[in-house]
Amino acid sequence: MYIEQLYTGCLSEAAYYIESEGEAAIIDPLRDIEEYLQLATKRKATIKYIFETHFHADFVSGHVDLAQATNAQIIYGPNAEVGFTAHIAKDRETFKLGKLSIEVLHTPGHTMESTCYLLKDENGNDHAIFTGDTLFVGDVGRPDLAQKGEELTMDDLAGMLYDSLQKKIIPLADSVIIYPAHGAGSSCGKNLGPETHSTIGDEKNSNYALQPQSREEFIKAVTEGLTAPPQYFPINARINKEGYEALDNILSKGLTAHSVDAFKALKNEDNIVVLDTRRADTFTMGFVPGSISIGLEGRFAEWAGSLLPFDKTLLLVTEQGKEKESIIRLARVGFQNFAGYLEGGFEAWQKSGEEIDMIIDIEADELAMDLPFDDNIVVMDVRKEAEFADGHVKDAVNVPLTSLIDPASMSAINDEDNVYVHCAGGYRSVIASSLLKRQGIHNIRNVVGGWSAIKEESKIPTEKSVAALN
């Protein structure tokens, strides 16, 4: 028996490779499949099955491309209806993998088709369970992602999740290893723990959702405090259900290099969005006017999916050599329309004498010096509401980054305002500043180091009461 967790930190996503006697299975593969193919080749194994725990909303799975590359069978649990060839398994159906077996445990609640896969060893003993988004370390999957056409409320799904956990998960032996689809940072749950695997026994001891409680108590516990899911979740779920264009085709379009003149002509077309994937601290020093900054160094794909329009075509500015990585990571969250990239990167644009834009960076101590003497300062905090409530600059306005996709969120900003933008550490504030610039608001400063630096500056008054920009 061989099991390997393949974890992608920027998405907090875990795929799994299972192997026995030269036969392999992949659980919840990412959009780019080379890692799985290379691992199987290295281990001289044949990929026989691709198990999907559900229609993922936070990323596009590699199931279709991987099946085409390997002739492996795609397996979904009950209730799944797909637009491609797949085997829809019955509850408790078993699949042989070398000397191992994998049993289907239908566990609706996160979604209707959500399914866990129970791995049994050579002796038929329960060894591990791959729980998808049904059960995480310290949490469970959010129950508010009912798909189009499903007449289900959040409470309906939460009740189903309670039944699934009580009937299928809690009865398992304490020694069974839990391998979930996500770790900390994922938006598929409320507060996932830092570990990426656990055991049934440990989760019974520590996970609030597995404690003895009534159905009503459970529903209240899992639904309280849920924030709205990112805008791209239903788009990704639909793509995973219906199928998609091959990644190689997307790359062939996206890897078209454009000269400065060609890029300049393209960027002015109505359907084009210019995305700059260079580091945030590089972007502020100079960029193509109108560009949106989302740097590869952060949770790139999630912010792209949350902020960029899927009905537009992306034109890229990247660090040289990062063009392919940018496209693949965008494709992981459902982007398929690309017009190519700027050949030679921003340096080529600058050397050609084209107009450039910049964002002024300031340190926290400069903000401290300016605050007492400038009545027109607006401190804009683009962190999440919960972060803001836990501590912020006195009289700051809270405009969570995701709200900036709506230009109306800027209605309270006046031309004479001096806008100082910050987040927790500096990544999100640069994204926000680029969006503000794109909306015609240019009198802005980006506070380097964000809240982490601000709260260390004793001359900046802070508070914990919530303020909001209306």
Model pLDDT for residues 194-245, shown as the tens digit of each residue: 999 999 999 999 999 999 999 999 999 999 988 889 999 999 999 999 999 9
Does the pLDDT at position 425 exceed 70?
Answer: yes
- Residues facing residue 199 across a β-bridge: 177
Q: 48, 61 in Cβ contact below 8 A? A: no
**Residue 145 pLDDT class (50, 70, 90 cuts):** confident
Kindly give, in sequence order, each residue whose CB lies less than 8 Å from that of residue 91, ignoring residues fewer than 6 positions away: 77, 78, 104, 105, 106
Q: 108, 76 in Cβ contact below 8 A? A: no
CA distance linking residue 193 with residue 358, whole number of Å: 39
Give me the pLDDT at residue 134, please. 97
Tokens of 237: 């779920």
Angle at 442 between CA 441 and CA 447, to 5 degrees: 105
CA distance linking residue 413 with residue 418, whole number of Å: 9
Query: In Å, how far are 239, 322, 342, 367, 407 from 314, measured between CA atoms?
Result: 18, 15, 12, 35, 20
CA distance linking residue 94 with residue 368, whole number of Å: 64
Query: In Å, how far are 20, 401, 402 from 405, measured between CA atoms?
Result: 48, 8, 6
**Residue 469 pLDDT class (50, 70, 90 cuts):** very low
Residue 28: Cβ within 10 Å count: 27
Pick the CATH number of 2-235 from 1.20.1260.10, 3.60.15.10, 3.30.200.20, 3.90.105.10: 3.60.15.10
CA distance linking residue 35 with residue 31, whole number of Å: 11
**Residue 137 pLDDT class (50, 70, 90 cuts):** very high
Helix axes 215-223, 154-164, angle to 10 degrees: 120
Give me the pLDDT at residue 458, please. 86
Model pLDDT for residues 17-38, shown as the tens digit of each residue: 999 999 999 999 999 999 999 9
pTM, whole model, 2 decimals? Answer: 0.93
CA distance linking residue 84 with residue 94, whole number of Å: 22
- Phi and psi for 315 in degrees, rounded to 5? -120, 125
Give me the pLDDT at residue 149, please. 67
Model pLDDT for residues 62-113, shown as the tens digit of each residue: 999 999 999 999 999 999 999 999 999 999 999 999 999 999 999 999 999 9
- Residues facing residue 23 across a β-bridge: 20, 46
Give me the pLDDT at residue 470, please. 44
Amino acid at 400: P
Tokens of 200: 């049934």
**Domain 360-463: CATH superfamily, name plus number:** Rhodanese-like domain (3.40.250.10)
CA distance linking residue 316 with residue 274, whole number of Å: 6
- Residues facing residue 420 across a β-bridge: 379, 445
Comma-separated ranges of CATH 3.60.15.10 domains in the chain: 2-235
CA distance linking residue 117 with residue 132, whole number of Å: 9
3-state class percentages of the chain: helix first, strand second, coil last, to nearest 5: 30, 25, 45
Place of tokens 């590869």: 296
Q: Decide which of 261 and 374 is more confident.
A: 261
Comma-separated ranges of CATH 3.40.250.10 domains in the chain: 245-351, 360-463
DSSP reduced 3-state for 366: helix
Burial degree of 81 (CB within 10 A; 0-12, 13-18, 19+):
middle
Place of tokens 């189903």: 160
Give me the pLDDT at residue 467, please. 46
CATH placement of domain 245-351: 3.40.250.10
